[in-house]
């Protein structure tokens, strides 16, 4: 699938896959369907990227660089509650002190997102998961303020060499959690006296309380 040329085209493509099961979508693109996610955790997201024409394997840029839009799948229950937190980006370690909210990679990712809810109730196989109603969302006002507050707190701690104190309990709507292939992976960071230390890589994740807020905003009866 070619990259979409406009927001409207992207939106139309997203609406066109609403209601399909992941098995049906996979069939359209001749993709194999894993029996479970245990060894294919990113499969659903990759499949939807393929179907919408996202640039696979892109790095710091949004999934649709021309449009400035990031694609995120969101597993939800039948009652519309998010079932998992949402990974946004890796945390800067050595560069933490130079980060500014307005130009941060975190803000770039969450500024404009195409959310694709996927019904993923317990017991549903990857094949059975069903695509919901995708919607374009832009970070604004109150939501930006709360995320900025959490992001600034966590980024400041990283800059001050406090990473060893940080766990997933920090942050009201945003949290910092391990993001690595396994528990032995290490990357460089600053220690509490400004020295270089080896530490586990971390990523920023949106709590379900935040994505739940977005869903309510989008689907609440007017």
Report if residue 193 touches DNA, rule: CB under 7 A.
no
Nearest residue (CB) to DNA, 181 versus 222: 181
Q: Is 194 in a helix, a strand, or coil? A: coil
Nearest residue (CB) to DNA, 37 versus 101: 37
Measure the CA–CA gap between 222 and 213, rounded to whole angstroms.
15
Q: Which stretch binds DNA (CB under 7 A): 7-15, 137-145, 155-163, 196-204?
A: 196-204
Report if residue 220 touches DNA, rule: CB under 7 A.
no
Report if residue 37 touches DNA, rule: CB under 7 A.
yes
Q: Which two tokens stand for residue 68?
A: 């400035």
Nearest residue (CB) to DNA, 12 versus 168: 168
Query: Residue from 19, 42, 68, 80 that binds DNA (CB under 7 A)?
Result: 42
Report if residue 13 touches DNA, rule: CB under 7 A.
no
Q: How far is the CB of 90 from DNA (least distance, A)?
A: 5
Phi, psi of 126 (to 5 degrees): -50, -40
3-state SS of 1-66? Answer: CCCCCCHHHHHHHHHHHCCCEHHHHHHHCCCCCCCCCCCCCCHHHHHHHHHHCCCCCCCCCCCECC
Nearest residue (CB) to DNA, 98 versus 186: 186
Of 138, 134, 161, 166, give the one whose Cα is nearest residue 150.
166
Q: Which stretch binds DNA (CB under 7 A): 11-19, 147-155, 179-187, 214-222?
A: 179-187
Of 92, 206, 220, give the one whose Cα is nearest residue 146.
206
Q: How far is the CB of 54 from DNA (least distance, A)?
A: 7
Q: How far is the CB of 142 from DNA (least distance, A)?
A: 20
Which residue in the block uniquely carries the two structure tokens 């294919």?
A: 40
| Subset of 121-160 contacting DNA (CB under 7 A) | none
Q: With contact defined as beta carbons under 8 Å apart, do 96 and 158 qualify?
A: yes
Report if residue 201 touches DNA, rule: CB under 7 A.
yes
Q: How far is the CB of 143 from DNA (least distance, A)?
A: 18
Which residue in the block uniquely carries the two structure tokens 């998992």?
A: 84
Measure the CA–CA gap between 198 and 185, rounded to whole angstroms.
9
Give the footprint of DNA on this chain (CB under 7 A): 36-42, 44-46, 48-49, 54, 56-60, 63, 70-73, 75, 84-85, 87, 89-90, 105, 118, 120, 167-169, 175, 177-187, 200-201, 203, 207-209
């Amino acid at each position: 699938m070619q990259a979409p040329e406009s927001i409207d085209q992207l939106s139309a493509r997203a609406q066109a896959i609403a209601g399909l099961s992941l098995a049906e979508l996979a069939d359209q693109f001749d993709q194999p369907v894993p029996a479970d996610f245990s060894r294919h955790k990113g499969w659903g997201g990759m499949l939807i990227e393929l179907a919408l024409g996202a640039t696979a394997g892109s790095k710091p840029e949004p999934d649709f660089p021309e449009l400035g839009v990031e694609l995120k799948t969101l597993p939800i229950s039948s009652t519309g509650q998010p079932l998992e937190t949402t990974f946004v980006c890796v945390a800067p370690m050595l560069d933490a002190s130079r980060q500014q909210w307005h130009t941060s990679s975190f803000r770039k990712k969450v500024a404009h997102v195409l959310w694709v809810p996927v019904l993923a109730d317990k017991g549903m196989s990857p094949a059975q998961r069903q695509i919901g109603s995708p919607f374009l969302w832009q970070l604004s006002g109150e939501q930006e303020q709360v995320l900025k507050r959490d992001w600034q707190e966590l980024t400041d701690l990283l800059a001050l060499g406090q990473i060893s104190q940080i766990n997933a309990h920090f942050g009201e709507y945003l949290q910092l959690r391990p993001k690595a292939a396994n528990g032995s992976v290490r990357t460089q960071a600053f220690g509490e006296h400004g020295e270089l230390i080896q530490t586990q890589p971390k990523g920023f994740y949106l709590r379900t309380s935040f994505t739940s807020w977005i869903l309510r905003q989008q689907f609440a009866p007017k």
